[in-house]
Amino acid sequence: GQQVMQIPQYQHVQEGEDFTTYCNSSTTLSNIQWYKQRPGGHPVFLIQLVKSGEVKKQKRLTFQFGEAKKNSSLHITATQTTDVGTYFCVSTTNAGKSTFGDGTTLTVKP
Amino acid sequence: GAGVSQSPSNKVTEKGKDVELRCDPISGHTALYWYRQSLGQGLEFLIYFQGNSAPDKSGLPSDRFSAERTGGSVSTLTIQRTQQEDSAVYLCASSRLAFASYEQYFGPGTRLTVT
């Protein structure tokens, strides 16, 4: 089945620094979704990418889907303490089965 | 409107006992997912239901785990003869359709501790 590898596992940054997490698959993905889970909370949907080479922005967050649809990235510009949490990439097949990456846990030092 | 709800929020049980975890999805959502998240780990897909179709049970870790969804709405995840390795947060999510283009809405989870 589809597997997504996510790196890095942890990232510690100083407030104001940029942050990027990467998601890679050995197979072509039909789509990629990104979720954020705050400490003690549950995952919350951020965005979905479907098209090859797609780029979407949400304020300081930039999401990319690779041309081959085998990788994706989430980039946060000028991190803030509110960005703290674990970011997951998720691949879902049309049959409904979801595969979560292991997540990247971001900590931000004020 | 109301989001996904789960009960109980916390459950402590003795090894060997059976437990039932409940999930109430968002009204009108036809797809329902169960995941397991161990401390500091990612989400492990367990099972999903799509409408009245037979569920995909391929993610269930053992035959001690089973799930039902009655009337296409409420779902129950049952763990029989619990083991300590079953301790985790069990998350339920629902979406409008079990296709790739619909986001999943998660409930707050049930924290299961097996002593």
**pLDDT tens, N- to C-terminus, chain A (110 residues):** 568 999 999 999 999 999 999 999 999 998 999 999 999 999 999 999 999 999 999 999 999 999 999 999 999 999 999 999 999 999 987 777 788 999 999 999 99
Q: What local confidence, expressed as pLDDT, does residue A94 receive? A: 72
CATH for A18? 2.60.40.10
Pairing type for strands A98-100 and B5-7 reads unpaired
B58 CB-contact burial (10 Å; exposed 0-12 / middle 13-18 / buried 19+): exposed
For chain B, residues with pLDDT lower than 70 are 1, 98-101
Please report residues of B whose CB lies closer than 8 A to that of A36.
Answer: none
Residues B91, A45: C-beta atoms closer than 8 Å = no
Of the candidates B100, B89, B104, B31, which has an alpha carbon nearest to the alpha carbon of residue A35? B104
Take residue B32 and report the two structure tokens written for it.
């329902």
CB pairs A-B closer than 8 Å: 61
Query: Across chain B, how many H-helices and E-strands are there?
Result: 0, 10
CA dist., res. A44 & res. B85, Å (int): 26
Say whether A96 and B31 touch across the interface (CB within 8 A). yes
Reported as type and span, the H/E element at residue B111 is strand B110-114
| Chain A contact present for B48, CB below 8 A | yes
Question: How many domains are contained in chain A?
Answer: 1
Answer whether B25 touches A (CB < 8 Å): no
Q: Does B55 touch chain A (CB under 8 A)?
A: no
Supply the range of the domain harboring residue A75. 4-109
Return the CATH superfamily for domain B23-96.
Immunoglobulins (2.60.40.10)
Domain boundaries, chain B: 23-96
A81, exposed or middle or buried, with CB in 10 Å at 0-12, 13-18, 19+? exposed
